[in-house]
């Protein structure tokens, strides 16, 4: 019989494996009758989502701490041992969050305790450098300690496989099963970090891997002559938002020749509290506020921001007296269009996007005979598709998701905020030499391919009750959509694995892994997708609107109005669930 949260709390409080101060903390919660906190910490174990393991830092099975990190590492180790590889090794990196370095060392200790060589960066480094190191060393797996753009109270554990991408089936499910099967922490192999160093089971990753990454990325600069000759004409403001991005992002800009850049001093250094922002999320305008102020004061052309693990970028430019923040779809569109127009394409090019990313990309791809593959949400699925196609006569040129993640080369197998920043800077420079800013560049694309507007709308629901509410909302949309949607043409239920055409009644099997995602396609080209977040306590709604009639200004206005109506409808349905 499953233990209640209070029973689990009591068992942790008397377990000698844990430190006395941690056990006392739980006893205090029990003695004070704090059932809410006990329930939140002990009602379940942490689960792997699209971003791996992620939670609030704290003591308990539903929190991220050195014990759950050890357990997650052991679960990954168990999967590696199945390979039967001689002298296996794993790469580890970490961001600027609280306990990130300590958790990374705990991971290394578990690897060493299991006889697996741990290769760990000697300084904090972003996701793309972890993925690159994994491939560089031909390691069997990797770990990134990060909670990406979550608030300061969070940290996390991202598991990577031998291709350099986050784990996908069957490894991800196996790791989850391995994690659940560890019933006692004493089952976990462990060696003190310093002892691991002495025995040669733990090694530092040095500068040579970083140097190799940047030398490789320079090969993917599309117009190096333009960057060298006119790079100083683009004035850039950059903020790492207290994360890992300062050194790699300024280095790549300098090596390209885009040396005219300013860094937001108050946000330059790693800070686990992210003291100057509410959330270190570059897609949130408030996180970019200080950089925008510096852009205005310095008369700069563009702002770039990266999240703590530097796998995503945000952008801002001036639009007269207003500030324009391109969304993730627009940045992907600009980069993809630039690649298509400024490179000699391979014989059989392809790009990959997630199902919730703008369908306008497919129109653009069609003109240039680029094959498009759609995947589930999460960049790991984009990279999984790349892996699937490695033996096929196709050439990868771009991967994009609406949540500000991009990749335009095959050397890394996760979204790469460093090389994406470099590419986007090159895009901005190229358009500036044409006398255009990014808004004008987008309008040119819209004039040719039609206007598309996308909006991500989320509702937060905290804790156990929130999780149950999210479940009811998903079921309401899954079962009763005909009651509140008009002009509905197609329903895609990725959990059931089928697409239903409401006009013909025809059902088609969806060729993607099953996932708790629902999609609605309307007559006229609009679409809505919804899913629970895999990393945060929220449900996400992806609204996609197309307008092809009238002037561009009229199209934009109509699209905004349709989106507002959709948001209002979503709120009403969610409230009643």
Put the strands of the sheet holding 322-324 in their side by side order. Answer: 261-263, 236-239, 302-306, 313-319, 322-324
Question: Is the backbone of residue 200 left (phi > 0), alpha (psi -120 to 50) or beta?
Answer: left
Inter-residue contact 164 to 135 (CB < 8 Å): yes
Contact 573/484 with Cβ under 8 angstroms? yes
Q: Report whether 139 contacts 163 (CB < 8 A).
A: no
Whole-angstrom CA distances from 14 to 7, 63, 183, 530, 544 are: 11, 18, 15, 43, 53
Six-digit token string for 187? 């089952």
131 is catalytic: no
Q: Is the Cβ–Cβ distance between 406 and 415 less than 8 Å?
A: yes
Give the DSSP letter string of 126-159: -HHHHHHHHHHTT-SEEEEE--TTS-TTEEEEEE
Residue (of 303, 151, 292, 309) closest to 243 by Cα position: 309
**Residue 135: CB partners within 8 Å, gap ≥ 6?**
163, 164, 411, 412, 413
CA distances from 461 to 63, 458, 575 (A): 18, 10, 12
Distance, CA of 131 to CA of 123 (rounded, Å): 15
Q: How far is CA 118 from CA 133, 335, 350, in A?
A: 12, 36, 35
DSSP state of 166: B
Can you count the helices (H) and strands (E) in the chain? 19, 22
**498-501 and 488-493 beta bridge pairing:** antiparallel
Task: Specify the DSSP class assigned to residue 64.
Answer: B
Which helix (H) or strand (E) segment holds residue 162: the answer is: none
Distance CA 201, CA 199 (A): 6
- Compute the distance between CA of residue 574 and CA of residue 577 in angstroms, rounded to an integer: 5
How far apart (Å, rounded) are the C-alpha atoms in residues 30 and 12? Answer: 12
How far is residue 224 from each of residues 315, 319, 429, 430, measured CA to CA in Å?
22, 28, 11, 11
Catalytic residue among 96, 148, 162, 420: 148
DSSP 49: B
Residue with tokens 């899913």: 531
Residues with a catalytic annotation lie at 148
């Amino acid at each position: 019989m499953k233990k209640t949260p209070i029973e689990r709390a009591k068992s942790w409080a008397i377990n000698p494996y844990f430190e006395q101060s941690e056990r006392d903390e739980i006893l205090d919660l029990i003695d004070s009758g704090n059932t809410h906190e006990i329930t939140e910490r002990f009602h379940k174990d942490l689960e792997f989502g699209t971003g791996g393991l992620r939670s609030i830092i704290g003591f308990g099975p539903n929190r991220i701490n050195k014990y759950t990190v050890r357990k997650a590492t052991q679960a990954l180790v168990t999967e590696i041992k199945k390979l039967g590889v001689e002298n296996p090794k794993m790469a580890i990196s970490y961001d600027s969050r609280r306990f990130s370095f300590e958790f990374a060392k705990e991971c290394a200790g578990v690897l060493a305790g299991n006889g697996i060589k741990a290769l760990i960066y000697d300084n904090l480094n972003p996701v793309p450098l972890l993925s690159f190191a994994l491939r560089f060393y031909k390691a069997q797996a990797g770990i990134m300690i990060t909670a990406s753009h979550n608030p300061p109270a969070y940290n996390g554990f991202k598991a990577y496989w031998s291709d350099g991408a986050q784990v996908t089936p069957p490894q991800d499910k196996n790791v989850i099963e391995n994690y659940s099967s560890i019933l006692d922490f004493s089952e976990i192999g462990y060696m003190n970090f310093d002892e691991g160093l002495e025995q040669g089971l733990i090694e530092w990753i040095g500068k040579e891997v970083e140097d190799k990454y940047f030398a490789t990325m320079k090969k993917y600069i599309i117009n190096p002559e333009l960057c060298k000759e006119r790079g100083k004409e683009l004035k850039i403001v950059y903020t790492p938002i207290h994360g890992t991005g300062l050194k790699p992002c300024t280095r790549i800009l300098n090596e390209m020749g885009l040396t005219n850049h300013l860094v937001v001093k108050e946000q330059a250094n790693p800070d686990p509290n992210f003291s100057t922002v509410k959330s270190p999320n570059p897609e949130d305008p408030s996180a970019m506020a200080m950089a925008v102020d510096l852009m205005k004061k310095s008369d700069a052309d563009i702002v770039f921001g990266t999240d703590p693990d530097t796998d995503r970028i945000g952008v801002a430019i001036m639009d007269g007296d207003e500030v324009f923040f391109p969304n993730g779809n627009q940045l992907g569109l600009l980069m993809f269009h630039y690649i298509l127009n400024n490179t000699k394409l391979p014989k059989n090019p392809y790009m990959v996007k997630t199902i919730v990313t703008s369908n306008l990309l497919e129109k653009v791809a069609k003109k240039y005979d680029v094959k498009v593959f759609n995947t589930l949400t999460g960049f790991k699925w984009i990279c999984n598709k790349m892996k699937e196609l490695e033996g096929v006569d196709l050439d990868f040129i771009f991967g994009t998701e609406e949540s500000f993640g991009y990749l335009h080369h095959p050397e890394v197998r996760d979204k790469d905020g460093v090389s994406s920043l470099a590419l986007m800077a090159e895009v901005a420079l190229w358009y500036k030499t044409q006398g255009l800013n990014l808004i004008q560049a987008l309008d040119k694309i819209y004039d040719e391919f039609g206007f598309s507007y996308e909006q991500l709308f989320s509702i937060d629901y905290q804790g156990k009750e929130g999780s149950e509410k999210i479940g009811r909302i998903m079921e309401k949309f899954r079962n009763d959509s005909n009651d509140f949607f008009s002009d509905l043409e197609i329903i895609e239920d990725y959990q059931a694995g089928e697409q239903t055409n409401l006009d013909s009644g025809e059902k088609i099997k969806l060729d993607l892994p099953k996932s708790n995602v629902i999609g609605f396609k309307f007559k006229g080209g609009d679409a809505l997708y919804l899913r629970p977040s895999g990393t945060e306590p929220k449900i996400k709604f992806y609204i996609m609107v197309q307008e092809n009639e009238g002037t561009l200004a009229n199209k934009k206005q109509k699209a905004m109005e349709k989106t507002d109506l959709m948001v209002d409808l979503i709120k009403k349905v969610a409230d009643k669930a």
